[in-house]
Amino acid sequence: MSEARRVVITGIGAITPIGTGVDAFWQGLGRRRSAVGGITRFDPSPFRSRMAGEVNDFHASDHIEERRVRRLDRYSQFSIAATRLALADAELDATREDGDRVGAMMGTALGGVARGEGEYRNFVEGGIRAVDPSLALSVFAGAGSCNIAIEFGFTGPNSTNGMSCASGTIAIGDGYRAIRRGDADVMVAGGAEAPLAPLCFGAFAIIRAMSTRNDDPAHASRPFDRSRDGFVMAEGAAVLVLEERSRALARGAPIYAEICGYGLTNDAHHMTAPRPDGTKAALAMRKALAEESVSPWEVGYINAHGSSTPLNDPTETSSIRQVFGEHAERLAISGTKGYYGHALGASGAIEAAICALASRRGWLPPTVNLEEPDPACDLPYLTGTGRDASPDYILSNSFGFGGINASLLFRRA
């Protein structure tokens, strides 16, 4: 990788069930307990699963002008607000930037579909005149990155991908590459998801992908645990400010970590089940390492996808072993969805934020709710209080429906 186009993370904006804003988010990780609870947004009684990771401390008007809030659905509100938080954290004034050199990359699984669901009910009950005219401008996934561009005047590269649960990771990888090849100097990149509506939620309930531990929601998301029975849906967003390194240093920007590798593959196997041999997930990790010629033994921590599903967790375990061999026994690994659930396309961005924070602050969070490891998940997953450590290299994995596999490699700043 050219020394002239290295990419660092200078800002983090997080909106999650465990906290909104970088400091509240970090404090939520430090509490080492789940924020998953019973659903309050709608009546979940028709479904086998009736819990979620809800964001309860978010008020759009704290981040967006009130008249604009009324025209935006929750997905776009999350996208703009997380970006504003990230820019403030990066000490970056958008009004003083050359807009052509700043872009936005976002990821989401469902985009504004939940807004469409609500407006369809209005249509059925009151006809077309009952439908909010802003529906056409909010239901498409690209509303996330486009609304960011409009809000902040960013006229550089702009895209939103819809690659299921790997979307946020892919968006950050695409932003990293845009800077590396010289298309931009700054990219805001991440993911946003606001899926907590009956049809969106029910679609995953129908295929029995979600946990039914309704009597104990705080322990329902339990990555790599023997008694896991599915993922827990969540909402949220995370946006990172990515910046060309010499530029960031010149302005004295705070630097969390450097992104130095990105791998992307597909299982080409099944729409919901991972490829059983884990070889293409392993290939994504190898690609991320190869981009910076990093040896597996140099990696000290992996933030695993750890979806808490019966098939994903052992397959990820296998793929990590394929890449890291004997070193896998010495790795620190955690799956952090036990904290906040699975925010679909935003999860990879949330977990990238965790990796960046861990790199700078020297603490690796535990795998919440991992009480009895599955024998098929036999790696040294962190539990308890986590671990004080500052690894030179950290890897983050995201795997999604459709067989998509994405990995990001971070280097300590």
Domain count, the chain: 2
Dihedral in degrees, nearest 10, Cα atoms 104, 167, 289, 364: 100
In a domain, 255, yes or no: no
Tell me: do 30 and 67 sit in the same domain: yes
Q: Which of 250, 274, 294 is the last residue of a domain?
A: 250
Whether residue 269 lies in the annotated active site? no
Please check whether residues 287 and 220 belong to one and the same domain.
no
Q: Which domain holds residue 378?
A: 261-412
Angle of the 113-126 helix axis to the 74-89 helix axis, nearest 10 = 150
**Burial (CB count within 10 angstroms: exposed 0-12, middle 13-18, buried 19+), residue 124:** exposed
Given 63, 146, 165, 355, which residue is catalytic? 165
Contact between 75 and 144 under an 8 Å Cβ cutoff? The reply is yes
pLDDT tens per residue, range 328-370:
999 999 999 999 999 999 999 999 999 999 999 999 999 999 9
Pair (225, 77) in one structural domain:
yes
Q: Are residues 194 and 274 in the same domain?
A: no
Within 10 A of 294 (CB to CB), how many other CB atoms are there?
18
CA atoms in the 13 A half-sphere facing the CB of 399:
35
Q: What is the pLDDT of residue 1?
A: 41
pLDDT at 4: 58
Same domain, residue pair 235 and 282 = no
102 and 227 share one domain: yes
Asked if 400 and 166 count as a contact pair (C-beta separation under 8 A), the reply is yes
CA distance 77 to 93: 20
**What's the CATH code of the domain at 189?**
3.40.47.10
**Active-site position among 219, 260, 305, 355:** 305
The answer to whether residue 364 is domain-embedded is: yes
pLDDT at site 3 = 57
Last residue of a domain, one of 184, 217, 250: 250
Rounded to whole angstroms, how far apart are CA atoms 328 and 319? 10
In the predicted model, residues of the chain with pLDDT beneath 50 are: 1-2
| 272/399 same-domain check | yes
Q: Which entry of 219, 342, 355, 377 is annotated as an active-site residue?
A: 342
pTM above 0.85, yes or no: yes
Mark whether 91 and 124 lie in a shared domain: yes
Domain closes at, from 250, 280, 305: 250
pLDDT of residue 2: 44
Structural domain includes residue 67:
yes
